[in-house]
C-alpha cells in the first residue's frame, strides 16, 4: 500500500509541475490580457519555444 501512495504522489507532483511549466513559459498563455493581449506576437519567426 505504501508504494502505491508513493507512485500516486510522484504522478500528481509531476502533473502539477508540468502544468506550471505550460502556464508560465508558454507564449500561448496570457495572464494579463489588458497590458499584453497577444503575447505570441512578440516572438520573432526564428524563436523556437516548442521542444
Mean pLDDT on 38-48: 77
* pTM for this prediction: 0.64
Domain region containing 22: 2-42
Average pLDDT of the residues in 34-50: 76
Percent of the chain with pLDDT over 70: 94
Answer whether residue 48 is part of any domain: no
Q: Is residue 47 part of a domain?
A: no
Q: Which pLDDT band holds residue 51 (cuts at 50, 70, 90)? A: low
User: Does any domain span residue 15?
Assistant: yes
To the nearest whole number, what is the mean pLDDT of the chain? 84
- pLDDT category at 24 given cuts 50, 70, 90 is confident
- Angle 50-43-45 from CA coordinates, rounded to 5°: 80
Residue 49 lies in a domain: no
The total of structural domains in the chain comes to 1
- Residue 28 forms part of a structural domain: yes
Q: Cell 519555444 appears where?
A: 49
In a domain, 51, yes or no: no
Amino acid at each position: 500500500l505504501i508504494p502505491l501512495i508513493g507512485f500516486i504522489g510522484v504522478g500528481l507532483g509531476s502533473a502539477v509541475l508540468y502544468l506550471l511549466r505550460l502556464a508560465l513559459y508558454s507564449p500561448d498563455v496570457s495572464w494579463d490580457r489588458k497590458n499584453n493581449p497577444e503575447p505570441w506576437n512578440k516572438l520573432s519567426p526564428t524563436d523556437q519555444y516548442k521542444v
